[in-house]
Amino acid sequence: MGSPSTAPSRRPATYQDLVALPEHQVGELIAGELYASPRPASRHAKAASILGMDLGNPFQRGRGGPGGWWLIFEPELHFGEDVLVPDLAGWRQERMPTIPDVSYFELAPDWICEVLSPSTAKLDVVLKLPRYGRAGVEHAWIVDPIHRMLQVFHQEQGRWVLAASFSGDDRVRAQPFDAVELELGSLWMDTRTP
């Protein structure tokens, strides 16, 4: 009798594996596994872009709002061995007085936003959201442009709690950006933005 066969062991993915991905892919490392996603389609890109613009003026630039935030599209976040790329992230300027000139951020943001795509929804919600919480992110928004929904979460005693859900053309005040009302309908693909 021969010896039992063993499956070859896979090595954990490294940052070099992530860097080697083609430019048209977004790479992330979670628990030693490399996840490569295509660049977002237009439905996803519109929702993220409009949301970034709507939050940027009042919260980053202080125009029509309180200011006090840095908002960044697709920052690369390094939390130990994990490398995550949310669609949007925000840091309170009291925690990060200036944006450092770096390739990636090790300081956890105060807020993240993931815009769901059919190919990344499970990754964004099931794998990434818990890691954001463990890293110290206080607020998370999940935007679903297909179902035209926004879910707003905050950390409470080390776990995510759903604070509010909005849909369709709701006018929204959502923490931590509840000082300004947002028009949720402007995020969706089938609506015109003035």
- Cis omega (within 30 of 0) for bond into 86: no
Q: Residue 161: beta bridge partners?
A: 154
Say how far apart CA 135 and CA 107 lie, in whole Å. 9
**Minimal CA–CA distance to 71: which of 87, 57, 88?**
88
| pLDDT at residue 6, as a whole number | 46
Q: Say if residues 129 and 139 touch (Cβ distance below 8 Å).
A: no
Burial 73-107, CB ≥16 within 10 A → b, else e: eebbbbbeebbbbbbbbbbbeeebeeeeeeeebee
Answer whether 0.75 is exceeded by the pTM: yes
Q: What is the mean pLDDT of the chain?
A: 92
- pLDDT, mean of residues 151-165: 96
Kindly give the pairing relationship between strand 25-30 and strand 33-38: antiparallel
Counting residues of the chain whose pLDDT is more than 90, the rounded percentage is: 85
pLDDT-derived band at 40, boundaries 50, 70, 90: confident
Residue listed under structure tokens 């925690």: 95
| pLDDT at residue 193, as a whole number | 52
**Minimal CA–CA distance to 29: which of 54, 11, 43, 2?**
11
CATH code matching the domain that covers 40-187, chosen among 1.10.3720.10, 3.40.50.2300, 3.90.1570.10, 3.10.150.10 = 3.90.1570.10
| pLDDT at residue 76, as a whole number | 97
pLDDT-derived band at 24, boundaries 50, 70, 90: confident
**Minimal CA–CA distance to 89: which of 80, 81, 106?**
106
